[in-house]
């Protein structure tokens, strides 16, 4: 049986005595597309830094592609949450992608071929010679995905990849990431619940500790327990029973389905003109 791409066992990490991750265990197998959800401050970025070898946990073990991080350059393709681009910087999209190959010993022709191949994978060959700072937010993100793909890594890690992208672009990006699992294992770290609606293998919720759920069998990837871990328990005084269970079902229901909303007990109120509402008895 092949070794897991990611294997965390009883990982704990604290900053100045403040526990950020507490006894976290996670296994990700080759070819999986896993989304790691969590609120701001829940430990997502700390976990990613442990995977990359930028932080060493106080307890537990971390194995990535069979080794203890950090790994050799190019083994893990990483797309950070924010990339600072100075306006007017004369760097082309092709040059940005080739930066992902700077640690590799190869000819200029091979670098160009690798960059072109990666840009074809993300549908950005038309922008090959365009300046990076002139691209839209979604196009820049695709170029950074191409940069991560160029070294042909075994693991791709994306930290908040939809932070600067509009809703339509988010769905397109997740479709792209899902198509990459034939080439590498994909781990997406996000606080955006839209990530759980993508065609992922598994969803894990982290907020100091971790809960996981598989998407096999059409099951909702987010359980009420996971939502409670992410965002707190439901207020018992709220009149809606089964609130967290309803939200979990709604997230997995087909978009724009009024029937799905009704079955959750969270039906959207009917809309009527303001003047009509004023005529209603109080």
Whether residue 123 is found in the same domain as residue 30: no
Count how many domains the chain has.
2
Whether residue 56 is found in the same domain as residue 193: yes
Supply the range of the domain harboring residue 104: 86-152
Whether residue 6 is found in the same domain as residue 68: yes
- Report the chain's C-alpha Rg in angstroms: 21
Whether residue 157 is found in the same domain as residue 70: yes
For residue 200, being part of any structural domain is answered with: yes
Q: What H or E segment, with its residue span, contains residue 11?
A: strand 6-15
> Where residue 60 sits, what CATH number does that domain have?
3.40.50.300
pLDDT digits (tens, 9 = 90+) for 243-255: 566 656 655 554 4
- Alpha helix (H) residue ranges in the chain: 44-52, 93-98, 108-121, 137-149, 167-179, 224-231, 243-252, 258-264, 274-279
For residue 256, being part of any structural domain is answered with: no
Place of tokens 């797309």: 79
pLDDT digits (tens, 9 = 90+) for 115-171: 999 999 888 999 999 999 888 888 888 899 899 999 999 999 998 887 767 777 777
For residue 33, being part of any structural domain is answered with: yes
The reported pTM is: 0.76
Confidence of residue 74 (pLDDT cuts 50, 70, 90): confident
269 Cβ contact partners less than 8 Å away, ≥ 6 residues apart:
none
Whether residue 158 is found in the same domain as residue 116: no
Whether residue 145 is found in the same domain as residue 190: no
Whether residue 2 is found in the same domain as residue 125: no
Whether residue 60 is found in the same domain as residue 8: yes
Whether residue 105 is found in the same domain as residue 16: no
């Amino acid at each position: 049986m092949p070794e897991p791409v990611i294997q965390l066992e009883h990982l704990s990490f604290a900053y100045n005595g403040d526990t950020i991750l507490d006894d976290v265990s996670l296994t990700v197998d080759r070819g999986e597309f896993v989304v790691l959800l969590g609120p701001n401050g829940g430990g997502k970025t700390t976990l990613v830094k442990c995977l990359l070898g930028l932080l060493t946990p106080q307890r537990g073990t971390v194995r990535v592609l069979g080794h203890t991080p950090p790994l050799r350059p190019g083994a893990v393709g990483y797309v950070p949450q924010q990339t600072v681009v100075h306006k007017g910087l004369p760097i082309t999209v092709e040059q940005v992608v080739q930066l992902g190959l700077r640690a590799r010993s190869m000819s200029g022709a091979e670098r160009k071929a690798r960059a072109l191949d990666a840009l074809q994978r993300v549908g950005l060959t038309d922008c090959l010679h365009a300046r990076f700072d002139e691209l839209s937010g979604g196009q820049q993100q695709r170029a950074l995905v191409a940069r991560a793909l160029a070294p042909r890594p075994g693991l791709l890690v994306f930290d908040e990849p939809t932070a600067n992208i509009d809703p339509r672009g988010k769905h397109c990006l997740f479709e792209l990431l899902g198509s990459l699992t034939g080439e590498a294992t994909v781990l997406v770290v996000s606080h955006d619940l839209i990530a759980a609606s993508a065609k992922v293998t598994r969803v894990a919720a982290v907020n100091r500790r971790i809960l996981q759920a598989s998407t096999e069998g059409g099951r909702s990837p987010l359980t009420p327990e996971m939502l409670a871990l992410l965002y707190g328990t439901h207020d018992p005084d709220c009149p809606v029973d089964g609130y967290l269970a309803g939200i979990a079902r709604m997230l997995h229901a087909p978009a724009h389905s009024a029937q799905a909303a009704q079955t959750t007990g969270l039906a959207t109120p009917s809309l009527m003109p303001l003047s009509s509402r004023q005529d209603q008895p109080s």
